[in-house]
């Protein structure tokens, strides 16, 4: 049975999609069966895995048109993908009158649970209906977080949303962990924020941190995850280490 992880942070630009893509690819390279579900209308996770945003059927078709999840899969060397494109932006409106609208994604993915070790859901950078669907479908939430003051403010809101979802819609939902991204050891604020997080959240904060890396930023333009585009750079090595830490924590 797959471990289902929503990768979420309502603040944009924190490395959420980069983390989702590279964890999917890194675990695949480790021999795990992985699936990335792109639930962000921007479709960056899809292109980051080398899948065109115009590919159909996709997440929108799965959620709105009720196309079976198996028919929406795109196979890649670095993990399977259910891609998406701009049309997914309309899904929150089109699903508003659907019975049990918060459970649409969970029900759509049920048939795939036994086919994978891990299923990652890349969420939009907002707490909208698509994100709620991801939280309901997931076993846990992985939160990539940039080490800056505004990120500390944002994580309070996210934790509140996770608690509310756990109480009302998905009692098994928990915080998988916090991943510190865009880490710059030279900046005093980085160390301060990291220290505060570890003080208050303890083991929920992963030991592995993801440094700033130009090569990770370049990788999507080549349609490749960073851990494939340049396996030797510091960012890729960090994501391989994070994948190993994640697998150990989850017992994969």
Check residue 192 and give its pLDDT: 75
Q: What is the pLDDT of residue 149?
A: 67
Helices in 9-128 by DSSP H: which ranges? 16-29, 44-48, 59-63, 91-94, 104-109
Strand partners, 181: 146
Q: Answer whether 67's CB lies under 8 Å from 24's CB.
A: no
Structural domains of the chain in order of their starting residue, each with its CATH number:
3-247 (3.40.50.300)
* Beta strand segments in 32-134, E: 34-38, 80-82, 118-122
CA distance 61 to 108: 11
Distance of CA 5 to the CA centre of its chain: 7
Determine the Cα–Cα distance for residues 87 and 58; give it in Å rounded to an integer: 10
Q: What is the Cα–Cα distance from 36 to 49, expressed in whole angstroms?
A: 9
Predicted pLDDT of residue 185: 67
- pLDDT tens string, the chain, 252 residues long: the values are 899 999 998 887 888 999 999 999 999 999 999 999 999 999 999 999 999 999 999 999 999 999 999 999 999 999 999 999 889 999 989 999 999 999 999 999 999 999 999 999 999 988 889 999 999 999 999 999 887 766 667 777 888 888 999 999 999 999 999 999 987 766 666 667 777 778 877 888 999 999 988 999 999 999 999 999 999 999 999 999 999 999 999 988
Phi/psi of residue 246, each to 5°? -60, -45
- How far apart (Å, rounded) are the C-alpha atoms in residues 58 and 104? 14
Determine the Cα–Cα distance for residues 60 and 67; give it in Å rounded to an integer.
9
Closest CA to 227 of 238, 154, 67: 238
């Amino acid at each position: 049975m797959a471990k289902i992880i929503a990768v979420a942070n309502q603040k944009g630009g924190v490395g959420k999609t980069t983390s989702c893509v590279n964890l999917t690819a890194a675990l695949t390279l480790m021999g795990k069966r992985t699936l990335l579900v792109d639930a962000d209308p921007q479709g960056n996770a899809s292109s980051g895995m080398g899948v065109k945003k115009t590919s159909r059927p996709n997440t929108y078709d799965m959620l709105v048109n009720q196309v079976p999840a198996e028919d929406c899969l795109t196979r890649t060397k670095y993990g399977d993908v259910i891609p998406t494109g701009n049309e997914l932006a309309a899904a929150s409106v089109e699903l508003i009158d659907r019975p049990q609208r918060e459970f649409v994604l969970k029900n759509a993915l049920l048939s795939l649970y036994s086919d994978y070790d891990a299923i990652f859901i890349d969420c939009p950078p907002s707490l909208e209906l698509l994100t709620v669907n991801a939280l309901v479908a997931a076993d846990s939430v992985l939160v990539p977080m940039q080490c800056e003051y505004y990120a500390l403010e944002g994580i309070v809101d996210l934790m509140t949303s996770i608690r509310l979802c756990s109480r009302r819609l998905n009692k098994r939902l928990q915080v998988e962990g916090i991943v510190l991204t865009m880490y710059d050891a030279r900046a005093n604020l980085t160390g301060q924020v990291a220290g505060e997080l570890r003080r208050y959240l303890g083991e929920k904060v992963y030991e592995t941190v993801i440094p700033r890396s130009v090569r990770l930023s370049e990788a999507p333009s080549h349609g490749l995850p960073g851990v494939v585009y340049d396996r030797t750079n510091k960012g890729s090595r960090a994501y391989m280490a994070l994948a190993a830490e994640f697998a150990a924590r989850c017992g994969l």
